[in-house]
Amino acid sequence: MTDLYRVLPDEMDELVKTLRQPRYRADQLLQALYRESPKDVSSMRQLPSDMRDNLSAVGYAVGSASEVHRVVSEDGNTTKLLLKLTDGTLVETVLMQYRSGGKEHPRSTVCVSTQVGCAMGCTFCATGQMGFERNLKAEEIVAQVLCFASILRERGEHVTNLVFMGMGEPLANYTETIRAVRILTHARAFGLGQRHITISTVGVMQGIDKLAEEDLQVGLAISLHAPNDKLRKKLVPTAGPNSVGDLIAATRSYFKKTGRRVTLEYAMIGGVNDSPEVAAELAALLKGNGAHVNLIPVNQTAGGFERPKWKRITEFERILKESDVSCTVRVEKGSEISAACGQLRTDMAKNF
């Protein structure tokens, strides 16, 4: 069976044509898929019954994921879903909402997964420590967004932003990730603006180069975590011998080709990479680079690493800013429900 959420709008036009239906049926089908959250093909009543029957007969279905568990943070602004895919695989995805006075709708960011587990092995990341199970298909990535879109629709709200920062390395699942991005940003499909999407990578160089050539206006976030190769290798075991230099060069190249400033993610780990000396080394490395540094105090995971003291975090930030390095400290959401950066790990929920 082929999930209709895998089909790009141009491909949908061809599908409708093969079913001997007028072209406008493709738009009706897309409207139903992305605005009404149908449970199956038979429930799309705006389509004639013979078309629905034919879609099923030739092997098309709806729905790559179903919700099996939901956890909401105490403030109600972070929601984590455990989803079961059609083959029984479990995957986690997170909704983070940011409310500001006077605005009717909150900024609603969905953090999606692109793999079950991860092969990158980052020592401070729960997903990295659970190992790699498989890549997700484009329709399984899209399904995560649509699950939250349906929840938000009931509140009169909508998805505003999307970050590929959940389970897995997006650029190690490049083809399916990009297909999902094109579906989610196509005006006839989900219709999210490209500039509202950020793809995060631990540093898959070939993927970064390919992404720069895609003619997409998505943001790129690169997980740096250290100013030198020796320290980075301890945190990211899969890092190459010149990974820091390669990644810094990649930020310049990506900006030159796309005009989009790169964000460098830096997980701050108490007693490991949070000292003033390391901050000074990082500042010297990035001075004049133009990238933005996102400082992320590490979250509690099975790895046993500790979050730095707040004084240490602010001192690190001060050193960077005094060298004219643009940086902010990320405001974490959902850590109390294990929904924050680096905390997604489905092998903790196999009883669902």
Q: How far is the C-alpha of 305 from the C-alpha of 5, rounded, in Å?
A: 39
Same domain, 315 and 252: yes
- 3-state SS, residue 50: helix
- 3-state SS, residue 82: strand
**Is 299:344 a contact under the CB 8 Å cutoff?**
no
Q: Give the residue from 61, 82, 101 where a domain finishes.
A: 61
pLDDT at 337: 45
Query: Which runs of consecutive H residues, i.e. helices, occur in the chain?
Result: 9-18, 24-35, 49-57, 126-129, 138-154, 174-185, 205-212, 229-235, 243-258, 276-286, 310-322
The secondary structure of 8-49, three-state, reads CHHHHHHHHHHCCCCCHHHHHHHHHHHHCCCCCHHHCCCCCH
Q: Give the pLDDT mean for 37-50.
A: 93
Q: How far is the C-alpha of 193 from the C-alpha of 198, rounded, in Å?
A: 11
Same domain, 54 and 76: no
pLDDT: which is higher, 298 or 53: 53
Residue-wise pLDDT tens digits, 93-109: 999 999 876 667 899 99
How large is the greatest C-alpha to C-alpha distance in the chain, in angstroms?
Answer: 70
Residue-wise pLDDT tens digits, 253-268: 999 999 999 999 999 9
pLDDT at 339: 45
For residue 285, the domain's CATH number is 3.20.20.70
With a CB cutoff of 8 Å and minimum separation 6, the contacts of 146 are 5, 34, 37, 190
Residue 245 has pLDDT above 90, yes or no: yes
Residue 243 CA: distances (Å) to CA of 49, 162, 227: 56, 27, 10
Same domain, 25 and 145: no
CA-nearest of 253, 232, 254, 257 to 242 is 232
Residue 246 has pLDDT above 90, yes or no: yes
For residue 47, the domain's CATH number is 1.10.150.530
Residue 344 has pLDDT above 70, yes or no: no
Q: Is 92 a catalytic residue?
A: yes
Choose the weakest-confidence range: 71-85, 294-308, 338-352. 338-352
pLDDT: which is higher, 122 or 12: 12
Same domain, 139 and 217: yes
For the chain, how many structural domains are there in total? 2
Same domain, 76 and 175: yes
Q: Is 111 a catalytic residue?
A: no
Same domain, 143 and 260: yes
Same domain, 84 and 32: no
CA-nearest of 343, 305, 297 to 73 is 343
Name residue, tokens 């089909």.
7
Same domain, 29 and 75: no
pLDDT at 301: 60
Average pLDDT of the chain?
Answer: 91
**Is 313:330 a contact under the CB 8 Å cutoff?**
no
Q: Give the residue from 43, 61, 79 where a domain finishes.
A: 61
Residue-wise pLDDT tens digits, 113-157: 999 999 998 888 878 778 899 999 999 999 999 999 999 999 999
**Is 41:54 a contact under the CB 8 Å cutoff?**
no
Which two three-digit tokens encode residue 50?
A: 């013979």
Residue-wise pLDDT tens digits, 196-215: 999 999 999 999 999 999 99
With a CB cutoff of 8 Å and minimum separation 6, the contacts of 50 are none
Name residue, tokens 């070939």.
206
Question: pLDDT > 70: what percent of the chain?
Answer: 92
Question: pLDDT > 90: what percent of the chain?
Answer: 82
pLDDT at 226: 97
Q: Give the residue from 15, 44, 61 where a domain finishes.
A: 61
Compute φ and ψ for 312, nearest 5 degrees.
-65, -40
Query: Tell me, what DSSP letter sits at residue 188?
Result: T
Choose the weakest-confidence range: 61-75, 289-303, 329-343. 329-343
Name the active-site residue from 11, 74, 92, 118: 92
Same domain, 71 and 55: no
Same domain, 48 and 96: no
Same domain, 42 and 90: no
Q: Give the pLDDT mean for 227-236.
A: 96
Same domain, 41 and 161: no
pTM for this one? 0.92
Name the active-site residue from 111, 122, 125, 341: 341
Note down the domain range covering 212.
65-348
Compute φ and ψ for 119, nearest 5 degrees.
-95, 0
With a CB cutoff of 8 Å and minimum separation 6, the contacts of 113 are 91, 92, 93, 136, 141, 144, 166, 167, 168, 344
pLDDT at 105: 83
